[in-house]
Protein backbone atom coordinates (compact mmCIF):
# COMPACT_ATOMS: atom_id res chain seq x y z
CA UNK A 1 0.00 0.00 0.00
CA UNK A 2 1.26 3.50 -0.86
CA UNK A 3 0.68 6.46 1.41
CA UNK A 4 0.45 9.84 -0.27
CA UNK A 5 3.45 11.94 0.78
CA UNK A 6 3.93 15.71 0.57
CA UNK A 7 7.25 17.29 1.34
CA UNK A 8 7.71 20.97 2.17
CA UNK A 9 11.04 22.78 2.35
CA UNK A 10 9.55 25.09 4.95
CA UNK A 11 6.21 25.17 6.75
CA UNK A 12 4.83 26.44 10.06
CA UNK A 13 4.12 22.96 11.46
CA UNK A 14 3.43 19.65 9.72
CA UNK A 15 0.66 18.95 12.25
CA UNK A 16 -0.96 22.31 11.46
CA UNK A 17 -0.68 21.67 7.71
CA UNK A 18 -2.29 18.25 8.18
CA UNK A 19 -5.13 19.91 10.12
CA UNK A 20 -5.65 22.45 7.33
CA UNK A 21 -5.80 19.72 4.69
CA UNK A 22 -8.31 17.75 6.74
CA UNK A 23 -10.51 20.87 6.87
CA UNK A 24 -10.47 21.35 3.06
CA UNK A 25 -13.73 21.17 1.11
CA UNK A 26 -12.48 17.90 -0.38
CA UNK A 27 -10.46 16.37 2.45
CA UNK A 28 -8.32 13.25 1.91
CA UNK A 29 -10.09 10.00 2.73
CA UNK A 30 -6.99 7.82 3.06
CA UNK A 31 -3.82 8.00 5.14
CA UNK A 32 -1.35 10.67 4.07
CA UNK A 33 1.85 12.17 5.37
CA UNK A 34 3.27 15.69 5.52
CA UNK A 35 7.02 16.06 5.89
CA UNK A 36 9.13 19.22 6.18
CA UNK A 37 12.81 20.10 6.09
CA UNK A 38 12.12 23.00 8.41
CA UNK A 39 9.25 24.10 10.64
CA UNK A 40 8.94 27.74 11.68
CA UNK A 41 6.38 26.96 14.42
CA UNK A 42 6.95 23.31 15.30
CA UNK A 43 4.58 22.39 18.10
CA UNK A 44 5.28 20.16 21.09
CA UNK A 45 3.18 18.76 23.91
CA UNK A 46 1.79 21.00 26.66
CA UNK A 47 2.07 24.11 24.46
CA UNK A 48 5.85 23.79 24.05
CA UNK A 49 7.66 24.45 20.78
CA UNK A 50 9.73 21.92 18.82
CA UNK A 51 12.92 23.17 17.23
CA UNK A 52 14.90 21.18 14.73
CA UNK A 53 17.75 22.33 12.47
CA UNK A 54 16.98 22.61 8.75
CA UNK A 55 17.16 19.26 6.89
CA UNK A 56 19.07 17.44 9.63
CA UNK A 57 16.24 15.51 11.27
CA UNK A 58 12.87 13.98 10.49
CA UNK A 59 9.85 16.17 11.18
CA UNK A 60 6.64 14.74 9.81
CA UNK A 61 2.98 14.07 10.50
CA UNK A 62 1.41 10.76 9.57
CA UNK A 63 -2.35 11.12 9.23
CA UNK A 64 -3.92 7.79 10.11
CA UNK A 65 -7.55 7.03 9.33
CA UNK A 66 -8.45 3.95 11.35
CA UNK A 67 -11.27 1.73 10.12
CA UNK A 68 -12.84 1.26 13.53
CA UNK A 69 -10.91 2.48 16.53
CA UNK A 70 -12.98 3.35 19.59
CA UNK A 71 -12.24 6.61 21.39
CA UNK A 72 -11.60 4.70 24.63
CA UNK A 73 -8.75 2.90 22.86
CA UNK A 74 -6.97 6.00 21.57
CA UNK A 75 -3.93 5.40 23.76
CA UNK A 76 -3.14 2.46 21.42
CA UNK A 77 -1.98 5.10 18.92
CA UNK A 78 0.61 6.46 21.37
CA UNK A 79 1.70 2.96 22.30
CA UNK A 80 2.07 1.93 18.67
CA UNK A 81 3.89 5.03 17.45
CA UNK A 82 6.31 5.20 20.38
CA UNK A 83 7.22 1.50 20.24
CA UNK A 84 7.70 1.74 16.45
CA UNK A 85 10.22 4.56 16.92
CA UNK A 86 11.94 2.59 19.71
CA UNK A 87 12.17 -0.51 17.48
CA UNK A 88 13.45 1.60 14.60
CA UNK A 89 16.32 2.86 16.80
CA UNK A 90 17.12 -0.63 18.07
CA UNK A 91 17.18 -1.86 14.44
CA UNK A 92 19.92 0.72 13.86
CA UNK A 93 22.06 -0.69 16.64
CA UNK A 94 21.08 1.80 19.34
CA UNK A 95 20.84 0.47 22.90
CA UNK A 96 19.13 1.71 26.06
CA UNK A 97 16.08 2.90 24.16
CA UNK A 98 13.09 3.78 26.34
CA UNK A 99 9.64 5.22 26.00
CA UNK A 100 9.05 8.07 28.40
CA UNK A 101 5.36 8.24 29.32
CA UNK A 102 3.26 8.95 27.44
CA UNK A 103 5.08 8.82 24.10
CA UNK A 104 8.53 10.44 24.03
CA UNK A 105 11.46 8.25 23.09
CA UNK A 106 14.71 8.44 25.03
CA UNK A 107 18.14 6.90 24.72
CA UNK A 108 19.39 6.54 28.26
CA UNK A 109 18.32 9.79 29.89
CA UNK A 110 18.39 11.86 26.68
CA UNK A 111 15.47 12.71 24.43
CA UNK A 112 15.76 11.61 20.81
CA UNK A 113 12.13 11.84 19.70
CA UNK A 114 9.01 13.79 20.60
CA UNK A 115 5.47 13.15 19.44
CA UNK A 116 2.37 15.27 19.21
CA UNK A 117 -0.72 13.18 18.53
CA UNK A 118 -3.92 15.07 17.71
CA UNK A 119 -7.10 13.06 17.22
CA UNK A 120 -10.41 14.03 15.63
CA UNK A 121 -13.37 12.08 16.94
CA UNK A 122 -16.61 11.11 15.27
CA UNK A 123 -19.11 9.77 17.81
CA UNK A 124 -17.48 6.86 19.64
CA UNK A 125 -14.72 6.46 17.06
CA UNK A 126 -11.44 8.10 16.01
CA UNK A 127 -12.04 9.69 12.61
CA UNK A 128 -8.40 10.55 12.05
CA UNK A 129 -5.21 10.84 14.04
CA UNK A 130 -2.40 13.25 13.22
CA UNK A 131 0.73 11.58 14.54
CA UNK A 132 3.41 14.27 14.53
CA UNK A 133 6.93 12.95 14.99
CA UNK A 134 10.18 14.83 15.49
CA UNK A 135 13.11 12.41 15.43
CA UNK A 136 16.66 13.71 15.85
CA UNK A 137 18.82 12.05 13.21
CA UNK A 138 21.90 14.03 12.09
CA UNK A 139 21.86 17.12 14.31
CA UNK A 140 24.98 17.53 16.45
CA UNK A 141 24.54 21.01 17.90
CA UNK A 142 21.43 21.83 19.94
CA UNK A 143 20.36 25.14 21.48
CA UNK A 144 21.33 25.35 25.15
CA UNK A 145 17.70 25.70 26.28
CA UNK A 146 16.66 22.24 25.02
CA UNK A 147 16.85 19.80 27.94
CA UNK A 148 19.00 16.71 27.30
CA UNK A 149 18.67 16.30 23.51
CA UNK A 150 20.45 13.62 21.51
CA UNK A 151 20.47 12.43 17.89
CA UNK A 152 21.16 9.10 16.20
CA UNK A 153 24.40 10.39 14.72
CA UNK A 154 25.69 11.51 18.14
CA UNK A 155 25.23 7.94 19.38
CA UNK A 156 26.44 5.89 16.40
CA UNK A 157 28.78 8.30 14.59
CA UNK A 158 26.94 7.52 11.34
CA UNK A 159 25.60 10.25 9.04
CA UNK A 160 22.21 9.05 7.80
CA UNK A 161 20.37 9.53 4.51
CA UNK A 162 17.13 11.19 5.63
CA UNK A 163 15.01 9.93 2.71
CA UNK A 164 16.07 6.37 3.40
CA UNK A 165 15.35 6.72 7.11
CA UNK A 166 11.98 8.27 6.36
CA UNK A 167 10.98 5.39 4.04
CA UNK A 168 11.97 2.81 6.64
CA UNK A 169 10.13 4.40 9.54
CA UNK A 170 7.07 5.11 7.41
CA UNK A 171 6.83 1.47 6.42
CA UNK A 172 7.02 0.37 10.05
CA UNK A 173 4.46 2.93 11.18
CA UNK A 174 2.00 2.11 8.40
CA UNK A 175 2.27 -1.62 9.10
CA UNK A 176 1.90 -1.36 12.86
CA UNK A 177 -0.91 1.21 12.81
CA UNK A 178 -2.92 -0.97 10.43
CA UNK A 179 -2.20 -3.97 12.67
CA UNK A 180 -3.97 -2.42 15.65
CA UNK A 181 -6.78 -4.71 16.69
CA UNK A 182 -8.54 -5.86 19.85
CA UNK A 183 -6.54 -9.09 19.71
CA UNK A 184 -3.22 -7.21 19.71
CA UNK A 185 -3.97 -5.02 22.73
CA UNK A 186 -2.28 -7.28 25.37
CA UNK A 187 0.87 -7.77 23.24
CA UNK A 188 1.12 -4.05 22.56
CA UNK A 189 0.73 -3.20 26.24
CA UNK A 190 3.42 -5.76 27.12
CA UNK A 191 5.81 -4.26 24.59
CA UNK A 192 5.09 -0.68 25.70
CA UNK A 193 5.60 -1.56 29.37
CA UNK A 194 8.84 -3.41 28.60
CA UNK A 195 10.28 -0.17 27.17
CA UNK A 196 8.87 2.22 29.75
CA UNK A 197 11.41 4.53 31.38
CA UNK A 198 11.09 4.32 35.17
CA UNK A 199 9.04 1.14 35.44
CA UNK A 200 9.64 -0.37 38.89
CA UNK A 201 12.51 2.06 39.49
CA UNK A 202 12.73 4.95 41.94
CA UNK A 203 12.79 8.24 40.03
CA UNK A 204 11.93 11.86 40.77
CA UNK A 205 8.51 13.23 39.78
CA UNK A 206 6.70 16.52 40.10
CA UNK A 207 2.96 16.88 40.37
CA UNK A 208 0.92 19.98 41.24
CA UNK A 209 4.07 21.77 42.43
CA UNK A 210 5.26 18.92 44.69
CA UNK A 211 8.44 16.93 44.08
CA UNK A 212 8.52 13.31 45.20
CA UNK A 213 10.37 10.04 44.74
CA UNK A 214 8.15 7.59 42.93
CA UNK A 215 8.00 4.24 41.19
CA UNK A 216 5.86 3.66 38.08
CA UNK A 217 3.59 0.69 38.67
CA UNK A 218 1.32 0.69 35.62
CA UNK A 219 -0.04 2.57 32.62
CA UNK A 220 -3.67 1.62 31.97
CA UNK A 221 -5.55 1.32 28.67
CA UNK A 222 -6.52 5.03 28.77
CA UNK A 223 -2.88 6.00 29.23
CA UNK A 224 -3.28 6.99 32.89
CA UNK A 225 -0.15 6.29 34.91
CA UNK A 226 -0.02 4.84 38.42
CA UNK A 227 2.97 5.90 40.51
CA UNK A 228 3.80 4.70 44.00
CA UNK A 229 5.19 7.33 46.33
CA UNK A 230 8.49 5.79 47.47
CA UNK A 231 8.33 7.48 50.90
CA UNK A 232 4.85 6.55 52.09
CA UNK A 233 4.03 3.69 49.64
CA UNK A 234 0.73 5.24 48.58
CA UNK A 235 -0.25 4.83 44.94
CA UNK A 236 -1.84 7.51 42.81
CA UNK A 237 -3.10 7.47 39.24
CA UNK A 238 -2.46 10.53 37.09
CA UNK A 239 -3.85 11.89 33.84
CA UNK A 240 -1.62 13.45 31.14
CA UNK A 241 -0.27 16.84 32.29
CA UNK A 242 -0.71 15.94 35.98
CA UNK A 243 2.72 14.46 36.60
CA UNK A 244 6.20 14.89 35.18
CA UNK A 245 9.30 12.74 35.37
CA UNK A 246 12.19 15.05 36.31
CA UNK A 247 15.38 14.24 34.49
CA UNK A 248 18.45 16.09 35.75
CA UNK A 249 20.66 17.77 33.16
CA UNK A 250 22.89 15.13 31.57
CA UNK A 251 26.55 15.55 30.67
CA UNK A 252 26.99 16.99 27.14
CA UNK A 253 28.83 14.73 24.66
Draw the binding track, 17-46, toward ligand BTN (x: CB under 6 A; -: no contact): ----------------------x--xxxx-
Decide if 104 contacts 84 (C-beta within 8 A): no
Residues 98-137, interacting with ligand BTN (CB under 6 A): 104, 114-116, 132-134
Binding residue (CB under 6 A) for ligand BTN from 51, 61, 74, 78: 61
User: Looking at beta carbons only, is 31 or 228 nearer to ligand BTN?
Assistant: 31
Draw the binding track, 185-224, toward ligand BTN (x: CB under 6 A; -: no contact): ----------------------------------------
User: Looking at beta carbons only, is 15 or 139 nearer to ligand BTN?
Assistant: 15
Residue 51 lies near ligand BTN (rule: CB under 6 A): no
In whole angstroms, how close is the CB of 155 to ligand BTN at the nearest point? 18
User: Looking at beta carbons only, is 231 or 249 nearer to ligand BTN?
Assistant: 249
Of all residues in the shown chain, the one whose CB is closest to ligand BTN is 114
From first CA to last CA, the distance across the chain in angstroms is 41
Decide if 243 contacts 225 (C-beta within 8 A): yes
The number of beta carbons lying within 10 Å of the beta carbon of residue 19 is 17
Number of chain positions touching ligand BTN (CB under 6 A):
20
Nearest to 30 by CA among 58, 69, 2, 60: 2
User: Looking at beta carbons only, is 39 or 73 nearer to ligand BTN?
Assistant: 39
Buried b (16+ CB within 10 A) or exposed e, 48-82: eebbbbeebbbbbbbbbbbeebeeebbbbbbbbbb
Binding residue (CB under 6 A) for ligand BTN from 51, 59, 73, 128: 59
In whole angstroms, how close is the CB of 33 to ligand BTN at the nearest point? 11
Q: Give the binding site for ligand BTN (CB under 6 A).
A: 13-15, 39, 42-45, 48, 50, 59-61, 104, 114-116, 132-134
Amino acid sequence: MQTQEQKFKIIDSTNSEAQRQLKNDNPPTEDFVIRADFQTEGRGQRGHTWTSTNAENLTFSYVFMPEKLEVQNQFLLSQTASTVVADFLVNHGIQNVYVKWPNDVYVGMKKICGMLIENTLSGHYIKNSIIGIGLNINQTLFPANIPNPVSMTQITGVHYDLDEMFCKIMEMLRTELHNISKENIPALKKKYMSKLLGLNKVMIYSSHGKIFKGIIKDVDSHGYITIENADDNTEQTYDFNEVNLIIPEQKKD
